[in-house]
Amino acid sequence: MAGIWSVLLYVFGVLVGLFGILIITARTYIYWGFRECNSKASMKGKVVLVTGASAGLGKEVARDLAQRGARVIMACRNLAKANKVAEEIRKSTGSDLVEVQLLDTSSMASVRKFANSFLKNETRLDVLVLNAGIVGPASLTYTEDDHELTMATNHFGHFLLTNILLDLVKRSSPSRVVVVSSRNHQYTNGFDPDDLDNKKRPYIGSYQSYNHSKLCNVLFTKQLSHYLEGTDVACNALCPGSVMTEIFYKLPGVLWLQIIGVIVYFSGKTIAEGAQTIIHLAVAEEEANTRGEYYENCRVCPTTDQANDMGLAKKVWEKSEELVDLRAEERHY
């Protein structure tokens, strides 16, 4: 019996050691390339819209921009939670220019209701931060619009929102659109622009569905930037890095996500660190004229041929128009 316990303890020790090496290696890799937003730019007089601002990266971005004097509109689906966060931000920044509005990016009706109300009540939009996102459930799930849930939340909702608000963004120029994607956009298998809703093939699983939606974020940014040529609107996508946010534990049935969450908890960036590239693209003076780039750690990073394929970007845009039923009055490019 003592021999068995010795073997078990030895194996346990080896596993702990390997885990420790993994964590140290991951932290070294992350912090070797980490850069903060060094801009001290004031945002006084600016109107900023941040989707998914009730927690994680969106909350930190809202706090930072409120601290800089911006009027920050937190567009969130959970109003009770978002209002508590807004009050926290008001107290910590001393700003009373923080407000909450209802927006569920998985629902095209919610997007249209929010956007049309925004246009009626606002006269400018200086920075649009498309941050809301989920990793979908393990089983294939469709929304009320018959869209695959992850794609609807991460891509379709933001696609429609941006199109409806685009004329206001252009009239507010110099202005910016900041699209929160992920390095996971590089890891897509079987991406088909004609099957964004996962109707033609077996469900690819929450991991690949998430990756596909993040590729759509980058391709959307590329095509939008093409349409914005000749304007004074900066539009760029980014990966915030490995950050421990709610996304890792909102879906207890998705085991792979829980495992990654544990690793990120020990080795990843803090939320404040993860928000730096978003903030950088929203405020940094040197990024006022950049368009169609992909960023990590506050600097342009190379990405895949697929993510740079303008033909594919146009196909995704056109298919997205069809699937969200983009109306003539909602086109401003």
> In terms of C-beta density within 10 A (0-12 exposed, 13-18 middle, 19 or more buried), how is residue 121 classed?
exposed
Of 3-7, 126-130, 251-255, 283-287, the range with the lowest mean pLDDT is 251-255
Q: Which residues pair with 71 in a beta bridge?
A: 47
CATH for 274: 3.40.50.720
In-domain check, residue 22: no
> What are the residue numbers of the active site?
210
Domain that holds residue 268: 45-327
| Domains identified in the chain, total number | 1
- With bands split at pLDDT 50, 70 and 90, how would you rate the model's confidence at 307? very high
Question: What 8-state DSSP symbol labels residue 155?
Answer: I
166 close to 333: Cβ distance less than 8 angstroms: yes
CA atoms within 13 A on the CB side of 12: 6
In-domain check, residue 218: yes
- With bands split at pLDDT 50, 70 and 90, how would you rate the model's confidence at 280? very high
In-domain check, residue 13: no
Q: Report pLDDT for 263.
A: 56
In-domain check, residue 10: no
In-domain check, residue 240: yes
Residues 6+ apart with CB under 8 A from 95: 66, 67, 69, 72, 89
pLDDT tens digits along 35-70: 899 999 999 999 999 999 999 999 999 999 999 999
pLDDT, mean over the chain: 89
In-domain check, residue 36: no
pLDDT tens digits along 218-277: 999 999 999 999 999 999 999 998 766 555 555 555 555 555 555 555 556 888 999 999
In-domain check, residue 21: no
- With bands split at pLDDT 50, 70 and 90, how would you rate the model's confidence at 127? very high
pLDDT tens digits along 183-203: 999 999 889 999 999 999 888
Higher-confidence position of 118 and 4: 118
> In terms of C-beta density within 10 A (0-12 exposed, 13-18 middle, 19 or more buried), how is residue 145 classed?
middle
In-domain check, residue 31: no
Mean pLDDT of 309-316: 98
Residues 6+ apart with CB under 8 A from 7: none
Please give the share of the chain, as a percent, with pLDDT higher than 90. 76
